[in-house]
Amino acid sequence: MKKKISPIVWFSAGCLLTAILVFAVSFRITDKAESTVEVKQDGRLQYKWYIPELPKQISFAGEKVPLDRWDVREQFSRELLSNYYQHGTLLYILQLSSRYFPVIEQRLKANGVPDDFKYLCVAESALRNQTSPANASGYWQFVPATAERYGLEVNDQVDERYNIVKSTDAACKFLNEAYGKFGSWTAAAASYNCGQGGYNKFVSYQHTTNSYYDIMLPEETMRYVFRILAFKYLIGNSQQMGFILNNIEQYHPVKTKTIDITASVPDLAQFAINNGSSYRMLKLLNPWLRDHELTVKPGKTYQVELPVN
Which tens digits make up the pLDDT trace of 79-136?
999 999 999 999 999 999 999 999 999 999 999 999 999 999 999 999 999 999 889 9
Q: How would you class 262 by CB atoms within 10 Å of its CB: exposed for 0-12, middle for 13-18, buried for 19 or more?
A: exposed
Q: What does the chain come to in residues?
A: 309
φ, ψ for residue 3, nearest 5 deg: -85, 130
Q: What digits encode the pLDDT tens for the residues 35-63?
A: 677 787 777 777 778 888 899 999 999 99
Class of domain 59-249: mainly alpha
Cβ-contact 297, 248 below 8 angstroms: no
- What CA–CA distance (Å, rounded) separates 10 from 139? 61
Cβ-contact 173, 150 below 8 angstroms: yes
State the pLDDT at residue 2: 43
Helices (H), the chain: 7-26, 70-84, 87-110, 118-125, 144-149, 164-182, 185-194, 196-205, 219-236, 268-274, 279-285
Residues of the chain with pLDDT under 70: 1-35
